[in-house]
């Protein structure tokens, strides 16, 4: 039997992949992050499936659930919010399963930043304005960031910034990026994208801190920063240009 790591998407039950839905429907045991995954997503599971909320469990406890289920021939799904490639502890869990001789695979999901961009109708890469997206986080009560990955260094590139796990430090972070983007640079904050209770805040580097504090946001939010969010720019993609010479 295999442990399947699947991306649960940003929250809406119909924003998971067909493959994920099939895996959930066949699973005997499903581990899910109750803090981030909306209960409706679990509707894809069998009525008799054993559901394990990983809130409060450490990595060793999660691994024990997965290895014990594997040992008795049960199919296991380990759900992560968004996509497993971002901040899912996939590396740490996979390493433990490898050591235990338990096979595993990964099914991608819709990442939260993509859902946030969709909600506000923005492309994060605009020709001649921003052609790169930086996915990062900041340190608060969490694992230390590598010294070379400073927010100011990323901001200096002018790329669109996507900040995860950073909502409680919004005001401080805007102070760090302001010298590179300017006070009027657009910022979007999305809390629980596509879930009940979804909140979308639109503002600028100068005022988004006030909005976040007024809304009382403390978790499950992504911050997008950059000029591409203005919906402006006159450049056009060379790939789709009518004047491009075709071979």
Would you give the DSSP letter of residue 57?
Answer: -
Out of 53, 87, 107, a domain closes at 107
Do 96 and 122 lie in one domain? The reply is no
User: CA 86 → CA 11, 60, 109, 194, 201, distances in Å?
Assistant: 15, 20, 10, 18, 23
Query: Is 169 contained in some domain?
Result: yes
Do 101 and 117 lie in one domain? The reply is no
Per-residue pLDDT, 141? 60
CATH number, domain of 11, equals 3.40.1010.10
**Residue 82 · residue 10 · CB < 8 Å:** yes
Query: Is 236 contained in some domain?
Result: no
Instruction: Supply 221's token pair.
Output: 């939010």
Query: Is 96 contained in some domain?
Result: yes
Do 30 and 140 lie in one domain? The reply is no
Query: Is 88 contained in some domain?
Result: yes
Do 119 and 215 lie in one domain? The reply is yes
DSSP assignment of 120-173, as one string? TT--S-BTTTB--EEEEE--SSSPPPPTT--HHHHHTTTPEEEEES-GGGHHHH
Do 136 and 52 lie in one domain? The reply is no
> What's the rounded Cα separation, in Å, for the pair 222 and 208?
13
Instruction: Supply 59's token pair.
Output: 């990595």
Share of the chain above pLDDT 70, in %: 93
Over residues 37-54, mean pLDDT: 93
CATH number, domain of 200, equals 3.30.950.10
Per-residue pLDDT, 235? 67
Whether 7 has a pLDDT exceeding 80, the answer reads yes
Query: Is 247 contained in some domain?
Result: no
Over residues 59-76, mean pLDDT: 97
Do 79 and 118 lie in one domain? The reply is no
Instruction: Supply 39's token pair.
Output: 């209960």
Per-residue pLDDT, 234? 61
The whole domain housing 152 covers 112-230
In terms of DSSP bridges, do strands 133-137 and 104-107 run parallel, antiparallel, or are they unpaired? unpaired
Out of 62, 91, 107, a domain closes at 107
Q: In total, how many domains does the chain have?
A: 2
117 strand-pairing partners: none
């Amino acid at each position: 039997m295999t442990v399947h790591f699947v991306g649960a998407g940003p929250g809406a039950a119909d924003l998971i992949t067909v493959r994920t839905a099939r895996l959930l429907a066949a699973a005997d045991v499903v581990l899910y992050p109750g803090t981030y995954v909306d209960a409706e997503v679990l509707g894809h599971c069998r009525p008799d499936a054993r559901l394990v909320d990983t809130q409060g469990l450490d990595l060793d406890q999660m691994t024990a659930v997965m290895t014990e289920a594997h040992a008795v021939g049960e199919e296991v799904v380990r759900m992560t919010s968004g996509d497993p490639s971002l901040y899912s502890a996939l590396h740490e869990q996979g390493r433990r399963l490898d050591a235990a001789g338990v096979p595993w695979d990964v099914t991608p999901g819709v990442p939260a930043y993509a859902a946030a961009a969709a909600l506000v109708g923005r492309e994060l890469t605009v020709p001649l304005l921003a052609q790169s997206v930086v996915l990062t986080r900041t340190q608060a009560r969490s694992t230390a960031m590598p010294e070379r990955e400073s927010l100011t260094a990323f901001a200096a590139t002018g790329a669109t910034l996507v900040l995860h796990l950073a909502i409680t430090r919004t005001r401080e972070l805007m102070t760090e990026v302001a010298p590179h983007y300017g006070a009027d640079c657009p910022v979007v904050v999305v809390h629980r994208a596509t879930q009940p209770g979804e909140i979308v805040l639109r503002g600028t580097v100068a005022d988004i801190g006030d909005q976040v504090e007024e809304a009382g946001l403390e978790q499950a939010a992504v911050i997008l920063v950059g000029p591409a969010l203005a919906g402006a720019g006159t450049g056009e993609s060379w790939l789709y240009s009518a004047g491009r010479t075709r071979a």
